[in-house]
Amino acid sequence: MRTIVSNHQTPINIFIVDDHEVVRQGLKAIFQDEPEIKLVGESDGQKGVLGEIIKAQPDIVLLDIRISGSDGFEIASQLNIKLPSIKILMISGYESELYLYESLNHKVKGFIPKGSSKAYVCAAIKMIALGGTVWHDELLYRAIYGLRSSNEALNKKMVIGETHLKPRELKILGLLAKGKLNKEISGELQISIDTVKKDIQQLKKKYGALNRIQLATIATEMQLK
C-alpha cells in the first residue's frame, strides 16, 4: 500500500473490538506514536459493546471477526443500522477468502490480517478515513474468482434435489455457509477433522466447486445458512 498523507485537522478516532487483550494492547501500542490517530475506546466484544461504541463516537471501529461468545459480523450489522456514519475495518488472524466475502456482504470498509505491519495498519486507517477502502489483495482475488466460478456450479446444480447429499454432508454445507473452519465443524458434528476434510472434498466434486467459498456460496443460495 502506498503511503497515505492525511488531510485531517483533527485525529481519527478509533475504537478497538477484540476479545484478546494482547491484540488490543498491541494495537494501542501502534497508535501511541501516531498523532493523527486517537484511541477513544476498546472492548472485548461481549454484551454492551454497542453501547460503548455509541458513547465513544469513533470515526472507525477496528473489529475482530471471531469473538468468543459473539460475532464480529453481527456487530457490524448492528452498527450499520444504528450508527451508519461509523466506518468499520475488519481485522482477523484468519486469512480466509470466505471471511473477506462476508466482509463485502456486510458493507464494511476493509479487511486486513492481524499480522499486518504498523505502517500498513495506520495507512489502512487513514485511507478509510479519507473515504477509501482497503482489502487484502490476494484474498480479494481469491474471493472474486471463487464467486465467479461458483456461478457456473450453481447453473449446473442449483437445488439439493439434483445432487444426492448425505445428512452429514448437508450439515457441513450449512456450517460452511456460516464461515465455520474445519476444527469448528469437527467439534459441532463430533467427527474427526480428517472426516470433515474428506466430506468437503466430496462436496466439491458433487458441485464442481474449486474451493470452500464456492461451496459456501452454493449453500447460501440453497438457503442453508
pLDDT digits (tens, 9 = 90+) for 125-177: 999 999 999 887 666 656 555 555 445 544 544 444 445 678 888 889 888 88
Lookup result for grid cell 484474498: 139
**Residues 99 and 113: beta-carbon distance below 8 Å:** no
Mean pLDDT of 49-60: 94
Q: Are residues 46 and 20 in the same domain?
A: yes
**Residues 44 and 25: beta-carbon distance below 8 Å:** no
Q: Are residues 101 and 202 in the same domain?
A: no
In a domain, 126, yes or no: yes
Kindly report each contact of residues 193-201 with a partner whose C-beta sits within 8 Å and lies 24 or more positions away, as own/partner: 196/172, 199/168, 199/169, 199/172, 200/172, 200/176
Q: How many domains does the chain have?
A: 2
CA distance linking residue 111 with residue 102, whole number of Å: 10
Q: What is the pLDDT of residue 66?
A: 82
CATH classification of the domain holding 79: 3.40.50.2300
CATH classification of the domain holding 213: 1.10.10.10
Full residue range of the structural domain in which residue 173 is found: 150-221
In a domain, 1, yes or no: no
Q: Are residues 96 and 176 in the same domain?
A: no
pLDDT digits (tens, 9 = 90+) for 195-217: 998 998 888 888 777 677 777 77
In a domain, 28, yes or no: yes
CA distance linking residue 164 with residue 126, whole number of Å: 50
